[in-house]
């Protein structure tokens, strides 16, 4: 059997089985697909290190050309039909599982030479070499997988209409990087000749073309009606692939909003009522200002979410500048914030809110073309509410009135007490 036909047959078998398991994911679940994807990494690395065939353009290994390239193609297909949050599962699973395998083998090597058995002589040098190559290959696989998806997303803007071309270019770029990276480690560990570098690269370029065509064939035959995800900012994709957004969620759960650094609404629910309960026995006033960035949706629509996010950050910075060190600032909603001021009478709270309004308007007008402003409603415990919900409702009604009056103002004045006629 010729080497080219052998490689092509192996690629068709590999992709066919993996694509079938992927197609059945809604019936069988992803478990079977993910297990099949992960179990062959040792075989890929072993064949890439010791099994070579020679074609007219040079030496190449089926383990690297077919199996490793095929794994990246399957990961890309997985991303195309699912999303970044789903595809990161096998990426991190492969990283952890392969490192675990190497760690367990390294632990056994601490024992010393194993007991000799009749007719069997364990090749410990090969085991040591494979451990080093597994670490290097696994690291490259992790980098390759994330970079492959980011490049594919980047190409969606340059090549918007052809999945096959985007997939082929993405695979070709990453496999070129991988061939150079893995060959360096392979040459250092096993002394693989330089002829395998060029031969393996040519073979991987062929693999990129074949697998891209197979991805297109699969999508055209079996998932033609499935809608591809809309293009996403590379930053968002990277954050999902690297669990950065999970860190941001954790940061939020720890009490601080990841975007602005203000305290979260969950913290407000806990601290707000506790503050009122602490001040109630001595009837110390607690003032609450609830503020909203005026016309914030139009800022996002006109200037983009990046500008909108920066506006929210700068609003919080201005609030901190005009607040006392003991005042608490919370992000209450999307563009709504609450400032809780313990031991602050109502008139002082109105004056403080006015300083905040002026500071925000002055600062944002100098930094943003939209010149955002804020509207503020103020209420004070215990006169305006006996509990935190009542206080928020009172301040929110004042905020609504501020918006009704034209925005960019503070509302919280109480009606003057009526005097009885003699």
Distance, in Å, from the CA atom of 305 to the CA atom of 313, rounded to the nearest integer, reads 12
Q: What was the pLDDT predicted at 346?
A: 95
Q: Which of 387, 384, 390 shows the shortest CA–CA distance to 412?
A: 384
284 in the same domain as 205: no
Split at pLDDT 50, 70, 90, the class of 84 is: confident
Considering the domain boundaries, does residue 52 fall inside one?
yes
Residue linked to tokens 């059945």 = 24
Based on the structure, what is the number of domains in the chain? 2
Decide if 142 is inside a domain: yes
Q: Are residue 225 and residue 285 in the same domain, yes or no?
A: no
221 and 92 in one domain? yes
* pLDDT given for residue 192 in this prediction: 82
Same domain, 271 and 233: no
pLDDT at 96 over 70: yes
Task: Choose the final residue of a domain: 188, 220, 242.
Answer: 242
Verify that 231 and 258 share a domain, yes or no. no
Under DSSP, is residue 338 helix (H, G, I), strand (E, B) or coil?
A: strand
Same domain membership, residue 70 and residue 37:
yes
Q: 235 and 293 share a domain?
A: no
Return the half-sphere exposure (C-beta side, CA atoms, 13 A cut-off) of residue 99: 12
Mean of pLDDT over the chain? 88
pLDDT of residue 227: 62
Predicted structure pTM score: 0.61
Closest CA to 2 of 10, 97, 268: 10
The reply to whether 311 falls in a domain is yes
Tell whether the model's pLDDT for residue 247 goes beyond 70: no
**Residue 421 lies inside a defined structural domain of this protein:** no
Mean pLDDT to the nearest integer, 159-185:
93
Question: Looking at the predicted structure, is the pLDDT value of residue 421 above 50?
Answer: no
pLDDT in tens, 6-41: 899 999 999 999 999 999 988 888 888 989 988 888
In this structure, the answer to whether residues 322 and 406 fall within a common structural domain is: yes
Judgement on whether residues 211 and 94 belong to the same structural domain of the protein = yes
- pLDDT above 90 covers what percent of the chain? 50
Higher pLDDT, 3 or 75: 75
Is 416 part of a structural domain of the chain?
no
Highest mean pLDDT out of 56-65, 68-77, 230-239: 68-77
Q: Residue 117: which pLDDT band, with cuts at 50, 70 and 90?
A: confident
97 in the same domain as 47: yes
pLDDT of residue 188 exceeding 90, the answer is no
pLDDT at residue 114 is higher than 70: yes
Q: Is residue 420 part of a domain?
A: no
Last residue of some domain: 242, 263, 295? Answer: 242
Kindly state whether residue 118 falls inside one of the protein's structural domains.
no
Predicted pLDDT at 140: 93
User: Beta strand 53-55 with 58-60: parallel, antiparallel or unpaired?
Assistant: antiparallel
Least confident of 113-117, 192-196, 362-366: 113-117
Which range among 65-69, 106-110, 275-279 shows the weakest confidence by mean pLDDT? Answer: 106-110
Residue 58 counted as domain residue = yes
CA dist list (Å): 107 to 103, 110, 137, 262: 6, 5, 20, 47
**For residue 252, is pLDDT > 70?**
no
pLDDT tens digits for 313-367? 999 999 999 998 889 999 999 999 999 999 999 999 999 999 999 999 999 999 8
- Taking the C-alpha atoms of residue 258 and residue 250, their distance in angstroms, rounded to an integer, is 9
CA pair distance 227, 164, nearest whole angstrom: 16
Residues 49 and 184 in one domain: yes
Cα atoms in the Cβ-side hemisphere of radius 13 Å centred on 224: 4
Model confidence at 79, pLDDT cuts 50, 70, 90, reads: very high
| 210, 242, 274 - which closes a domain | 242
CATH number for 264? 3.30.70.270
Look-up: residue for tokens 């994709």? 237
Residue 408 carries which DSSP code? S
Domain that holds residue 206: 3-111+123-242
Please give the residue that has the higher pLDDT: either 72 or 85: 72
Considering the domain architecture, whether residues 53 and 129 belong to the same structural domain is answered as: yes
């Amino acid at each position: 059997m010729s080497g080219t036909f052998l490689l092509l047959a192996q690629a068709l078998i590999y992709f066919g089985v993996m694509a079938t398991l992927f197609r059945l994911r809604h019936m069988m679940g992803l478990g079977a697909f993910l297990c099949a994807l992960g179990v062959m990494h040792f075989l890929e690395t072993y064949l890439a290190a010791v099994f070579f065939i020679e074609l007219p353009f040079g030496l190449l290994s089926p383990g690297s050309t077919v199996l490793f390239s095929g794994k990246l193609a399957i990961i890309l297909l997985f991303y195309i039909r699912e999303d970044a949050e789903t595809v990161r599962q096998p990426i991190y699973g492969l990283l952890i599982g392969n490192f675990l395998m190497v760690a367990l083998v390294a632990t056994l090597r601490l024992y010393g030479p194993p007991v000799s058995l009749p007719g069997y002589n364990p090749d410990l040098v090969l085991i040591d070499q494979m451990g080093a190559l597994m670490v290097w290959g696994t690291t490259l696989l992790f980098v390759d997988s994330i970079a492959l998806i980011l490049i594919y997303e980047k190409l969606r803007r340059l090549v918007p209409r052809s999945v096959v071309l985007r997939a082929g270019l993405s695979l070709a770029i990453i496999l070129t990087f991988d061939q150079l990276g893995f060959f360096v480690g392979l040459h250092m560990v096993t002394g693989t000749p330089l002829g395998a570098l060029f031969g393996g690269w040519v073979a991987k370029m062929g693999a990129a073309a074949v697998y891209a065509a197979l991805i297109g064939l699969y999508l055209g035959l079996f998932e033609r009606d499935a809608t591809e995800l809309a293009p996403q900012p590379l930053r968002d994709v990277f954050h999902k692939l690297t669990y950065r957004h999970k860190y941001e969620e954790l940061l939020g759960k720890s009490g601080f909003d990841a975007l602005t650094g203000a305290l979260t609404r969950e913290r407000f629910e806990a601290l707000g009522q506790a503050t009122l309960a602490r001040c109630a026995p001595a009837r110390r006033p607690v003032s609450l200002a609830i503020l909203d960035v005026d016309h914030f949706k139009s800022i996002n629509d006109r200037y983009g979410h990046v500008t909108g996010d920066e506006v929210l950050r700068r609003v919080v910075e201005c609030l901190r500048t005009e607040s006392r060190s003991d005042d608490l600032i919370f992000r209450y909603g999307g563009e709504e914030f609450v400032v809780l001021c313990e031991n602050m009478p109502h008139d002082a709270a109105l004056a403080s809110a006015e300083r905040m309004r002026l500071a925000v308007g002055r600062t944002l007008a100098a930094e943003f073309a939209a010149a955002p402003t804020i509207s503020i409603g103020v209420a004070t415990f215990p006169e305006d509410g006996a509990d935190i919900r009542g206080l928020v409702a009172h301040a929110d009604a004042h905020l609504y009135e501020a918006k009704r009056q034209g925005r960019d103002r503070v509302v919280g004045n109480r009606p003057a007490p009526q005097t009885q006629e003699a």
